[in-house]
Structure 1
Amino acid sequence: MSEPPRFDRGHTDDLMSFLAASPSPYHAVANTAERLEKAGFRQVAETDAWDGSSGGKYVLRGGAIVAWYVPEGAVPHTPFRIVGAHTDSPNLRVKPLPDSGAHGWRQVAVEIYGGPLLNSWLDRDLGLAGRLTLRDGTTRLVNVDRPLLRVPQLAIHLDRSVSAEGLKLDKQRHLQPIWGLGDDVRDGDLIAFLEETSGIAAGEVTGWDLMVHSVEAPAYLGRDKELVAGPRMDNLLSVHAGAAALAAVAGSGAGLPCIPVLAAFDHEENGSQSDTGADGPLLGSVLERSVFARGGSYEDRARAFAATVCLSSDTGHAVHPNYAERHDPTHHPRVNGGPILKVNVNNRYATDGSGRAVWAAACEKADVPFQSFVSNNSMPCGTTIGPITAARHGIKTVDIGVAILSMHSARELCGTDDPHLLANSLVAFLEG
């Protein structure tokens, strides 16, 4: 097996392009699929019969993608090495009746998705992206990537209490963006605008999954450009690294002792319970069908799963210089200090001691430093797809990621080196 490439800061440049081109989960999986196609992967339909041939394959379903590479000589009970991530980010999503307005302002009715930092969406130039479903059942991606909407904040002159009591936002009343002027608000105006923008005949759109996004481009930040500011790092940073690592491992030749997999799910930010979420059947179905397509039995499936390991890769919290007391006093992950290992003894993360050993071996092989993260005992701990994957499939799972600031903001912050350090560690892990 030839040596896979080592990623450097060029990987971070590419990440910034990926973030800008992926304003919705549907765009993220389409861009991931395009990158895998260039690496020799091919799409297989879930409705078709699968063969057991070697090579790279992937399945697309909504905002999720599962891709895997079967090396020459793989047997039915060959175990999998999985990088798990998610494609969705907290944001504002368009309601079924999107056209609204008041007092001469035309507005778009939105619903809060996940747990965004609401104030980060105020006074920001916003575009609109997602997918449109046509009368014939086909879907079309749409991306209005220009200043189209804005959620205007109330002037301080009209709410002096902000200075003393802080900003208080009502999710129903205060987060509805404006997109024009006029008293004649008609049902269908927004969708008609998107049909015209997308070159779709009037009245052809019968369904939509739309969300707003900041149109400000990702950028390097800091005196020495050692930081990156951009949208949707939680968790497209991991999706991008996982896709790059899978393509690198697949291109390095035969001889892999395992089947490397990328599983990027939707709906992590609201619980993962969907047909495209980590708590749904997608990953298990793909892995089982891969075993059976290679002539395997249920016994082979059990043997493969028993030896399988998953890295649940998601962003975590870097120590915040203005709120250091919110972190565990002995665990202060720093940006550009390498990826983090997430631990929680109450199983909010899936990592245990044996999982830590797997991760440490991969980082040692890749010559990548890593840090440990644990929550302050007085603070509630977040969670990931890790415990869900472990419980649903009986697969050893380890929670890892990259430390960032401003998590769940419309614009997040990471170190310039951490994305490529993560990708290199994922290559070593996927090699088995």
Structure 2
Amino acid sequence: MNPSQHLADLAAFVTASPSSYHAAAEVARRLGEAGFTEQREDEPWRAGGAHYLVRDGAVVAWRVPDAGPSGFHIVGAHTDSPGFKLKPDPSAYAYGWSQAAMEVYGGPLLNSWLDREFGLAGRVITRDGAVRLVSTPAWLRIPQIAPHLDRSVNDQLHLDKQVHLKPVFALGAGDILAAVAGLLGIHRDEIDGHDLFSAVTEAPAVIGVAGEFFASARLDNLSSVHAGLAGLLASEPADHIQVLACFDHEEIGSGSRSGAQGPLLETVLRRIAGSLGWDADRYERALARSFVVSADAGHAVHPNYPQLHDPDHRPSLNAGPLLKVNANQRYTSEGPSSALWLQVCRAAGVPTQPFVSNNAVPCGSTIGPLTATRLGITSVDVGIPLLSMHSAREMCGTADPGYLARALAAFYSGTEG
């Protein structure tokens, strides 16, 4: 794809992926169209070929070469984003308003959700055990207090997570789950469980005088999921097993059955090895020849807050994906893995730029250290630069998503230069 086609495809991918469950389903759909076949966990493992596995909001895909593979080339990303999750009994009534009781999920930029219409997206489990994906229109809004009623609101905004972040969705006494059930064509009482999250309904857009910026929900980290998928599908055959691992729950620590701290990726790698007839020693030798690219969005220098960035490392939009480095191993990039990433980018004709945190500013982390700790595979942390990370609507450069996809395609293909 050229940059504009890639960006349009990213916009379509984000729109189709309002929750982690939708993202996993959309990745699976695209893989199926490309000739990958689904592997169910409760069925015998298929040897060779191209397959994918979906577990809740996570998806893992792999392609085994015809000749004996030497190891694994893995791209890791995550499907979830910060926001709000609907509580078990979510409908509340106060002063003539119906409100939805929601729990904060991860670390969203809270004020970015004020006065923004949004919907719900996720999964519903019905009495018959069926799992149904659902995405609603823009039903909800968290109204901000007017400055006439609180003169301090422009000086020091304080949002109590329990009191001030309960969206309205109707006048009178309403039932938000009954409305969700209506979309699915079922009765409210048929819903036995749900995992429903806030979902921005505003479409992604190219903005800026010169069309240099791309504004969208969930760029952290659907930009990496999409780039990993595009890179996998565009890559050439190689002498290693190509793996795309898109985990859920990164924004809340990854400690789940579908998160990077869980056994999902390790289980898939071991079952691939078993299907190929590898013994334990052969599997460990393959891991020693393997490599992980942990792809997760990072920070561009903010023009209004330059003091919060390292003065010697100020990444820009449209200057290529970040090579993320942290001395305390919040990112996994070290000398050998950083060198390999630079070689991959040279082979792909893609610019890259280093990112390191200001020593006085806390550094985030990714699935990279978790995967490296669990599997012992050499790893590097990369990702496109953003402004407004963890906002309901983030912003990147129009060129960077395509740059990342090209670099990941070269990584999968084993091309270095």
What TM-score, normalized by structure 2, do the two folds share? 0.98
- The Cα of 1:405 is off from its aligned counterpart by 0.1
Q: Which residue is equivalent to 1:150?
A: 141
Instruction: Find the counterpart in structure 2 of residue 190 from structure 1.
Output: 176
How far has the Cα of 1:269 moved from its partner?
Answer: 0.4
2:59 is matched with 65
Aligned to 1:181: 171
Gaps of 5+ in 2: none
**Which digits, 9 at most, give the CA deviation of each residue in 1:185-216, with x for residues without a partner?**
5xxx2222111111124422100000111211
Range with greater deviation from structure 2 (131-140 or 108-117): 131-140
Aligned-pair CA distance for 1:173: 0.2
1:239 Cα deviation (Å)? 0.2
Task: Show the counterpart of 2:112.
Answer: 120
Identify the residue that residue 241 of structure 1 maps to in structure 2: 227
State which of 130, 138, 142 in structure 1 corresponds to 2:130.
138
User: Per-residue displacement from partner, 1:352-404 (whole Å, max 9, x unpaired)?
Assistant: 00000110111010010100000001111110001001001111110000000
- 2:280 equivalent to 1:298: yes
Contact 2:124 2:132 in 1 (8 A): yes
1:260 Cα offset (Å): 0.9
Give 1:262's aligned residue.
244
Aligned counterpart in structure 1 of residue 32 of structure 2, from 11, 34, 37 = 37
**Is structure 2 residue 197 aligned with structure 1 residue 211?**
yes
Counterpart of 1:169 in structure 2 is 159
Q: Is the 8 A contact 2:254 2:262 kept in 1?
A: yes
CA distance in 1, matches of 2:349, 2:216: 27
CA distance in 1, matches of 2:366, 2:83: 18
Q: Distance in 2 between matches of 1:65 and 1:426?
A: 18
SS of aligned partner of 1:162: coil
Q: Distance in 2 between matches of 1:378 and 1:267?
A: 27
Match of 2:373 in 1: 391
Q: Give 1:314's aligned residue.
A: 296
Matched, 1:88 2:80: yes
3-state SS, counterpart of residue 163 of structure 1: coil
Q: Which amino acid aligns with 2:410?
A: A
My pick for the range that moved more, 135-144 or 197-206, is: 197-206
1:46 aligned to which of 41, 46, 58: 41
Contact 1:64 1:276 in 2 (8 A): yes
**Map of 1:3 onto structure 2:** none
1:75-114 → structure 2 map (5 Å cutoff): 75=69, 78-114=70-106
Tell me how far apart the structure 2 counterparts of residues 21 and 52 of structure 1 sit (CA, whole Å). 31
Give CA deviations for 1:133-188 in whole Å, capped at 9, x if unaligned: 011222000011x2201000001111111233x21100000000000011x45xxx
Counterpart selection for 1:129 from 104, 121, 124: 121
In structure 2, the partner of 1:221 is 207
Aligned-partner Cα distance in 2 for 1:11–1:57: 24
Matched, 1:159 2:150: yes
User: Does the 8 A contact of 1:7 with 1:423 survive in 2?
Assistant: no
Instruction: Give the whole-Å Cα distance in 2 for the aligned partners of 1:134 and 1:39.
Output: 31
**Cα distance in 2, alignment partners of residues 202 and 387 from structure 1:** 43
What residue number does 2:393 align with?
411
- Cα deviation for residue 341 of structure 1 reads 0.1
Contact kept in structure 2, 1:7 and 1:424, CA below 8 Å: no
CA distance in 2 between partners of 1:68 and 1:148 (Å): 38
**Residues of 2 paired with 1:27 and 1:15: CA distance?**
14
Unaligned segments of structure 1, at least 5 residues: 1-5
**Shift, 1:106, TM fit:** 0.3
Superimposed CA distance per residue, residues 62-85 of structure 1 (whole angstroms, 9 cap, x where no aligned partner): 00000000111134xx20000000
Q: Name 1:362's counterpart in structure 2.
A: 344
Q: Is the 8 A contact 2:300 2:314 kept in 1?
A: yes
Does 1:325 pair with 2:307?
yes
Three-state SS of the structure 2 residue aligned to 1:14 is helix
Please give the alpha-carbon distance, in whole angstroms, between the structure 2 residues aligned to 1:201 and 1:179.
19
- Comparing 169-178 with 203-212, which one deviates more in the overlay? 203-212
8 Å CA contact 2:177, 2:188 repeated in 1: no
The question of whether the paired residues in 1 share the 8 Å contact of 2:39 and 2:46 is answered with no
Give the distance between the partners of 1:51 and 1:37, measured in 2 at CA.
Answer: 16
Q: For residues 42 and 135 of structure 1, what CA distance do their matches in structure 2 show?
A: 29
Which amino acid counterpart does residue 172 of structure 1 have in structure 2?
Q
* Amino acid aligned to 1:277: G
SS of 1:149 mapped into structure 2: coil
Do the aligned partners of 1:350 and 1:386 also contact (CA within 8 Å) in 2? yes
Amino acid at match of 2:36: F
